[in-house]
Amino acid sequence: MDSMRQIREFRVEKGAVAMWWFGQNGYIFKSPEGTLVSVDLYLTDSCATLSTEIDLRRAVPVLVPPEKLDVDIFTCTHNHQDHTDPYTIRALRHKDTMNFVGPMPTCDVYAAEGVEQNRIVRVWPKSEYEARDFRMVGTFALPTDDTDLNHMGFVFQFAHGPKIYITGDTDFHELLGAAGKHEPDIMITCINGGFNNLSHWEAAQVVGMVKPKVAVPCHYDMFADNRIDPKQFRSALAMQGVKVGYQELTHGAPFVYSR
């Protein structure tokens, strides 16, 4: 059975959320009602052509080819190609994806790849978006370079179930702690440190400010020249005295969290 079919057939109990990690900052989330929401899915090897000095060949298998992707809402946190991948988006433009959500530069990519304007939803920090049993709030993120100054984080919630805070790519800033007011149950954070993203130590500091119940590391696995051992993040949490559950995910395997 292929991965997308497994996700479609996976049952989520009331008050829970299921999630699958596809590498880097790419996830699919499923609600008890069956709503599927993705974030930052990078399902090609398009970044391999972007640099001759940095090895950006993907190191994680493509578990769901773009042409088989089947989600209700497609979201991206910012415009870097490993988060807003035009080749992944291109394969979705004629599917039944309800809406394509993201900050303005990402929305420009949606439009350039043939997504109809009435399915494109622009969001920004503090904005809210709702569809079916899904609610999303935009949060602050500090851009990592001047190629895109519209980075965001997201807080997802399905019905009255768990809240999930996704940092997206961000440099360190104390304002990241403001996401704590949403009282997220899970915090998914970049930890790679390269390209001005949060280091494992800085990510642990932000977890300490936000105070989720569970911390999930990401953005450390996709490229040979941008890797880190996630155990360093776990150690940083312990060394800083941050009392939080630690959860590493396995690519393509379901993780279910219940309140």
- Work out the pLDDT band at 1, boundaries 50, 70, 90: low
Q: Is the pLDDT of residue 202 over 70?
A: yes
> 154 or 49, which is more confident?
154
pLDDT of residue 190 exceeding 90: yes
Q: What is the pLDDT of residue 83?
A: 98
CATH T-level assignment (fold) for domain 17-245: Metallo-beta-lactamase; Chain A (3.60.15)
Average pLDDT (18-42) is 98
DSSP state letters, the chain: --HHHHHHH----TTEEEEEE-STT-EEEE-TT--EEEES---S-GGGGS-SSS---B-S--SS-GGG---SEEE-SS-STTTS-HHHHHTTTTS---EEEE-HHHHHHHHHTT--GGGEEE--TT-EEEETTEEEEEEE-B-SSTT----EEEEEEETTS-EEEE--S-B--GGGGGGGGG--SEEEEE---GGGPPPHHHHHHHHHHH--SEEEEESSSSBGGG---THHHHHHHHHTT---EE-PPPBT--EEEE-
pLDDT surpassing 90 at residue 164: yes
pLDDT tens, position by position, 109-142: 999 999 999 999 999 999 999 999 999 999 999 9
Mean local confidence (pLDDT), 186-195: 97
Contact yes or no for 259/90 (Cβ under 8 A): no
What confidence score (pLDDT) does residue 176 get? 98
Quick: pLDDT tens for 56-113: 999 999 999 999 999 999 999 999 999 999 999 999 988 888 899 999 999 999 999 9
The fraction of the chain above a pLDDT of 70, given in percent, is 100
Mean pLDDT of the chain: 96
